[in-house]
């Protein structure tokens, strides 16, 4: 296969540097195509994690990318297409706060060749790939023609745990600001490859060093260390009220448990869909991805301001969002993020849809490894598991064997924990709205398959029901739903606080 060219405006490059940047763009291979393409729509989805550019056309597009080093930019030649108004829309879609793209220039480079030049704010790791059409069978589903997708990733991948620490510690915020300032300075000065600036130590390393200097928790000596959720029987034992007659377990004067436990309860909140994947679409045009993100943000605010008072001490809760803006996150990456921050709970938020517009109410789902609990649960899991097809992932860059191994390792303990916690969710949600099912349903949801994290999927209401669609966009309902979920989490962890453990950082 013919490889794309690498063009540079620099007059001198060492052989090592040229080889390094050539390797960077080897993944941007030529795509199969048909001549006479007509561009139908363009979209740009900016986010801190990556920016996605999508060009939708009636036939597959052939593309030839060129990475230009100084100043950093990417030129993409599209063969078999002519400049049209839809393609010109790319220019106006660049947002001022896009962390990767500062501007786009478009021109007819030659007969049947359109050149796009993306001016970059920083050097990136680009991926370019084609997606097959997505056919919609119902009005509430998204439909796409052929798509040419370019994803621009930072040269250093954002670490979810580092980001969580940076968000919730003063030290982390200061260092994060320093690193960001340094990166901005680098991008603006267009420094040469040879002159790499000195970047402060990363947030995670310094935080770990500071934690290692702290004295060990006295409470941790009374509880076993664990790297995975305990069984329900273990959990109930760890919080069983101490008998007044059992003097052997009473703490001595110098063994009084601390008032504050030096351990966060981390809740990973997963707003479903996003970016290219709108999720279900209501009859009034309401998109599932938008309402669940709004609920997720409200839930995050509640969790971050909550302290759970348990027998062992006070546990501060912290929320981690798998996405905090309108961009697509593959199902596998959602699981991986939750694992990286070593979440104690994973909650995926959605808005249900069905062919019958009268269907209504909220549902709670847990994982099943032995078949779905009902035909409806199986159907729902099938619909949600198609997110990667709609949102679009570069399958060539995914290790399918590793994915399958990870997603087949879920344990019975995880599922049992999820079922117990799911019952708490239903008990709280029914106080603020209608339940579609009065018990926790089970099915093979890909996003619930973290083997070491209790995981639940909440369908907050039916967006396909006109009355519930109107309800979903109301801040009052979003606040009530977030409050109910937070109350369930607090009640559960107050009764069964997580076993104190050393987090593997």
Among residues 348, 340, 328, the alpha carbon closest in space to that of 393 is found at 328
pLDDT at 183: 45
- The count of structural domains within the chain is 3
pTM of the model: 0.74
CB 295 within 8 A of CB 458: no
Are residues 417 and 269 part of one domain? yes
pLDDT digits (tens, 9 = 90+) for 391-443: 877 766 654 434 444 444 457 788 888 999 999 999 999 998 899 989 999 87
CATH of the domain at 79: 2.60.40.3500
The token pair that represents 56 in the structure block? 């939708």
Among residues 9, 115, 4, the alpha carbon closest in space to that of 65 is found at 4
pLDDT at 69: 84
Q: Is 68 inside any structural domain?
A: yes
pLDDT digits (tens, 9 = 90+) for 469-494: 999 999 999 999 999 999 999 999 98
Most confident of the following: 180-184, 283-287, 498-502: 283-287
Among residues 337, 218, 180, the alpha carbon closest in space to that of 269 is found at 337
| Residue after which a domain boundary falls, among 105, 121, 154 | 154
Among residues 117, 118, 196, the alpha carbon closest in space to that of 155 is found at 196
Res. 455 pLDDT band, cuts 50 70 90: very high
Kindly report the CA angle at 64 between 62 and 67, in degrees rounded to 5?
150
Res. 451 pLDDT band, cuts 50 70 90: confident
CB 184 within 8 A of CB 102: no
pLDDT digits (tens, 9 = 90+) for 18-37: 344 333 333 343 343 445 68
Q: Is 243 inside any structural domain?
A: no
Are residues 177 and 126 part of one domain? no
pLDDT at 371: 63
Are residues 298 and 274 part of one domain? yes
CB 331 within 8 A of CB 251: no
Are residues 405 and 440 part of one domain? yes
CB 65 within 8 A of CB 28: yes
CA distance 253 to 256: 6
Q: Is 164 inside any structural domain?
A: yes
Lowest mean pLDDT among 213-222, 300-309, 403-412: 213-222
Are residues 74 and 57 part of one domain? yes
Res. 256 pLDDT band, cuts 50 70 90: very low
Among residues 14, 28, 20, 129, the alpha carbon closest in space to that of 74 is found at 28
Q: Is 260 inside any structural domain?
A: no
Q: Is 201 inside any structural domain?
A: yes
Are residues 330 and 269 part of one domain? yes
Domain range for 34 is: 15-154
Among residues 9, 79, 11, 89, the alpha carbon closest in space to that of 44 is found at 89
CA distance 297 to 321: 8
CATH of the domain at 290: 3.40.630.40
Are residues 177 and 84 part of one domain? no
Are residues 450 and 325 part of one domain? yes
192 phi/psi in degrees, rounded to 5? -70, 165
CA distance 157 to 151: 13
The DSSP secondary structure of 264-326, one letter per residue, reads -EEEEEEE--BTTB--SB-TT--BHHHHHHHHHHHHHHHHHT-EEEETTEEEEEEEEES-SSS
Q: Is 322 inside any structural domain?
A: yes
Q: Is 253 inside any structural domain?
A: no
Are residues 370 and 282 part of one domain? yes
| Residue after which a domain boundary falls, among 130, 154, 178 | 154
Q: Is 341 inside any structural domain?
A: yes
Above 70 in pLDDT, residue 84? yes
Are residues 304 and 372 part of one domain? yes
Residues 6+ apart with CB under 8 A from 187: 72, 120, 121, 122
Most confident of the following: 151-155, 234-238, 394-398: 151-155
Are residues 113 and 208 part of one domain? no
What one-character DSSP code corresponds to residue 1?
-
| Residue after which a domain boundary falls, among 190, 214, 238 | 214
Of the chain, the percentage scoring pLDDT greater than 70 comes to: 67
3-state DSSP assignment of residue 129: strand
What order of strands is seen across the sheet that includes strand 124-131? Answer: 39-45, 51-57, 146-154, 124-131
3-state DSSP assignment of residue 73: strand
Are residues 484 and 456 part of one domain? yes
């Amino acid at each position: 296969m013919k490889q794309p060219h690498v063009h540079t405006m620099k007059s001198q490059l060492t052989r090592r540097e040229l080889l390094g940047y050539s390797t960077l763009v080897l993944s941007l291979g030529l795509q199969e195509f048909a001549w006479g393409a007509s561009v139908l729509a363009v979209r740009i989805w900016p986010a801190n994690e990556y920016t996605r550019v999508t060009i939708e056309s009636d036939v597959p597009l052939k593309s030839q990318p060129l990475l230009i080093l100084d100043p950093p930019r990417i030129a993409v030649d599209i063969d078999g297409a002519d400049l049209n108004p839809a393609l010109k829309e790319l220019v106006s879609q660049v947002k001022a706060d896009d962390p990767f793209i500062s501007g786009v220039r478009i021109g007819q480079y030659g007969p049947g060749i359109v050149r796009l030049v993306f001016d970059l704010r920083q050097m990136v790791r680009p991926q370019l790939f084609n997606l097959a059409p997505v056919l919609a069978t119902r009005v509430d589903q998204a439909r796409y023609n052929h798509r040419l997708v370019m994803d621009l990733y930072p040269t250093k991948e954002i670490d979810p745990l580092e980001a969580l620490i940076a968000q919730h510690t003063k030290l982390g915020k200061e260092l994060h600001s320093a690193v960001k300032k340094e990166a901005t300075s680098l991008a603006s000065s267009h420094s040469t490859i040879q002159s790499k600036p000195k970047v402060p130590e990363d947030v995670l390393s310094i935080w770990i060093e500071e934690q290692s200097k702290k004295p060990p928790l006295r409470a941790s000596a009374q509880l076993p260390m664990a790297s995975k959720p305990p069984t329900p029987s273990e959990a109930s034992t760890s919080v069983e009220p101490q008998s007044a007659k059992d003097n052997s377990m009473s703490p001595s004067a110098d063994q009084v448990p601390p008032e504050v436990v030096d351990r966060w309860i981390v809740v990973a909140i997963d707003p479903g869909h996003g970016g290219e994947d709108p999720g279900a679409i209501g009859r009034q045009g309401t998109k599932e991805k938008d309402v669940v993100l709004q609920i997720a943000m409200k839930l995050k605010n509640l969790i971050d301001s909550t302290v759970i008072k348990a027998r062992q001490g006070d546990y501060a809760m912290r929320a981690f969002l798998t996405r905090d803006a309108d961009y697509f996150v593959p199902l596998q990456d959602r699981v991986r993020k939750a694992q990286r921050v070593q979440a104690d709970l994973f909650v995926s938020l959605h808005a249900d849809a069905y062919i019958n517009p009268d269907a209504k109410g909220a549902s709670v789902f847990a994982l099943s490894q032995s078949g779905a609990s009902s035909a409806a649960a199986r159907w729902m899991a099938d619909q949600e598991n198609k997110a990667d097809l709609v949102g679009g992932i570069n399958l060539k860059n995914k290790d399918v064997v590793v994915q399958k191994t990870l997603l087949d390792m879920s344990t019975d303990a995880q599922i049992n924990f999820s079922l117990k916690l799911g019952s708490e969710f239903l008990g709280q949600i029914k106080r603020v709205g209608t339940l579609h099912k009065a018990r926790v349903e089970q099915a093979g949801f890909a996003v619930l398959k973290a083997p070491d994290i209790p995981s639940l999927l909440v369908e907050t209401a039916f967006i396909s029901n006109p009355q519930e669609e109107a309800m979903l966009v109301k801040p009052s309902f979003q606040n009530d739903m977030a409050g109910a979920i937070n109350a369930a989490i607090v009640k559960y962890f107050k009764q069964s606080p997580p076993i104190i453990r050393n987090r593997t950082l």
